[in-house]
């Protein structure tokens, strides 16, 4: 019998009657003249204020995958906001389009920070959130974004990058990164080279960052997304889902949040 990937198993749990307390709602916030369209998830059975987690989407844009991860975080007792980095909730249908969207964000750090900060403010304002306890996770493009926000000194307790790119034009300066950093990487990801990994570790150590880097042997890019194989075949990209790396990386994230929010 074919094993059900952990991701789908967790989604089934999230959809079960016992999980009916998890609420999801569309949210809008603005950055200048641009409307940002996000999705906020929380468990209304949890008493009192709790940490808030920002979820930054892959380069495909704010899609259902980011929302699913937000709901999974809500199941863990957090309030999660799957934010919008592209504006108007835009999503890409082709890698060329996704690349243009992602490049526009990554080459304009001041604007990217405005969009991230606006989402963070929206999350902190939710009545279920302890505004003093905020972290962020990101996938692929989103992983790069959360690392850049940490480097830029955004007041986050921690950030988690899942198969995100590591290179930057704005390396962390001593004392700038306020929270802890967790990087979960596919050891066989051709999009993240050994040289980039070495440079990232050197950067973190030079800046005095409390970080942890985990490499998953055999895993390639987008190893947490069950649709990665489909996208890889369709567009000829080095993408593949890895159920074991997906499960282990999620456990690493859970432990990380338990530590920083204890």
Structural domains in the chain plus CATH codes: 6-12+21-260 (3.40.50.1820)
Handedness of CA 64, 96, 103, 246 (dihedral sign): positive
Query: Which pLDDT score is estimated for 105?
Result: 97
CA distances from 255 to 123, 126, 145, 250, 261 (A): 22, 24, 22, 9, 10
Query: Which pLDDT score is estimated for 20?
Result: 53
Across the chain, mean pLDDT equals: 94
- Whether residue 2 is predicted with pLDDT greater than 90 in this model: the reply is no
Handedness of CA 215, 221, 224, 229 (dihedral sign): negative
Task: Please state, in angstroms and rounded to a whole number, the distance separating the CA atoms of residues 106 and 104.
Answer: 6
- Whether residue 259 is predicted with pLDDT greater than 50 in this model: the reply is yes
Specify the pTM.
0.92
Phi-psi region of 257 (alpha: psi -120 to 50; beta: other; left: phi over 0): alpha
Q: pLDDT tens for residues 12-31?
A: 544 444 445 899 999 999 99
CA 148 to chain centre: 12
Sheet (strand 34-43) strand order: 22-31, 34-43, 79-82, 50-56, 129-139, 158-162, 180-186, 211-216
Query: Which pLDDT score is estimated for 5?
Result: 60
Query: Which pLDDT score is estimated for 159?
Result: 98
Q: pLDDT tens for residues 242-251?
A: 999 999 999 9
Q: pLDDT tens for residues 161-218?
A: 999 999 999 999 999 999 999 999 999 999 999 999 999 999 999 999 999 999 999 9
Q: What is the mean pLDDT of residues 145-155?
A: 98
């Amino acid at each position: 019998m074919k094993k059900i990937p952990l991701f789908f198993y967790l989604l089934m749990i999230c959809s079960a009657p016992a999980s009916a307390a998890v609420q999801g709602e569309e949210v809008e916030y603005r950055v200048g003249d641009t409307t940002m369209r996000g999705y906020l998830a929380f468990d209304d059975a949890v008493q009192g204020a709790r940490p808030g987690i920002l979820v930054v989407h892959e380069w495909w844009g704010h899609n259902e995958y980011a929302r699913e991860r937000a709901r999974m975080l809500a199941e863990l007792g957090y309030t999660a906001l799957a934010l919008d980095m592209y504006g108007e909730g835009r999503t890409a249908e082709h890698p060329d389009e996704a690349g243009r969207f992602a490049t526009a964000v990554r080459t304009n750090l001041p604007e990217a920070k405005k969009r991230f900060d606006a989402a963070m403010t929206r999350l902190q304002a939710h009545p279920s959130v302890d505004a003093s306890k905020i972290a962020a996770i990101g996938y692929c493009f989103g992983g790069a974004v959360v690392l850049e926000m940490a480097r830029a000194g955004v007041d986050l307790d921690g950030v988690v990058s899942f198969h995100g790119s590591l290179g930057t034009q704005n390396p962390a300066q001593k004392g700038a990164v306020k929270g802890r950093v967790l990087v979960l990487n596919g050891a066989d990801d051709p999009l993240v080279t050994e040289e980039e990994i070495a440079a990232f570790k050197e950067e973190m150590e030079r800046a005095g960052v409390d970080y942890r880097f985990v490499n998953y042997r055999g895993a390639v890019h987008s190893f947490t997304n069950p649709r990665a194989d489909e996208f890889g075949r369709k567009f000829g990209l080095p993408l593949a889902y890895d159920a074991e790396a997906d499960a282990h990386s999620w456990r690493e994230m859970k432990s990380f949040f338990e530590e920083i929010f204890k």
